[in-house]
Amino acid sequence: MKLTLSYRAFSVLRRLGIQGLSIVEFDENIGPVPKFIHSQHAKLVRKILRDRIFSAKISILAKYASEAKLIDDSRIVIETFRSIGERTRVHYVIAQISDDADYTRVRAFLRDICRRLCTITEFDKEAIERLICESL
């Protein structure tokens, strides 16, 4: 589902160096599924939308690394968060960043989003959009 952010939020993300953003939710039956995306023009988001296996590859990568440079030279940063229900599930926030991104602020932003996402029981579009804007 495509996130609709305000022009102000979009501008702040760009200034931080975030080119694309995806929230990948772990589904008990399917595995990691891209749930929300921002900026369909980013290589990361296009890859996530085109290749269903890519989310699974990212979830494996996230166990060993918090950032990576992909084969297409795009740079990604990964943060994990957990939701607790009947079983603890691990989810991911993935950002494609530019080479001149403000890495420290990007990391802080992603950690804040993950901290807030841990408190949500149901992921819905409006809550995620509000959460992102509050984190900026």
2 domain-assigned? no
Q: Between the CA of residue 4 and those of 39, 68, 114, 123, what are the distances in Å?
A: 9, 26, 19, 15
- φ, ψ of residue 99 to 5 degrees: the values are -65, -30
35 domain-assigned? yes
95 domain-assigned? yes
Residue 21, helix vs strand vs coil = strand
Domain span at residue 20? 7-135
125 domain-assigned? yes
CA distance 28 to 105: 32
pLDDT tens string, the chain, 136 residues long: the values are: 788 888 888 889 999 999 999 999 888 888 888 888 888 678 888 888 888 888 888 889 988 999 999 888 889 999 999 887 777 888 899 999 999 999 999 999 999 999 998 887 777 888 888 888 888 8
42 domain-assigned? yes
How many folded domains does the chain comprise? 1
Residue 4, helix vs strand vs coil = coil
pTM: 0.86
Q: By the 8 A CB rule, do 5 and 79 touch? A: no
CATH of residue 129: 3.30.450
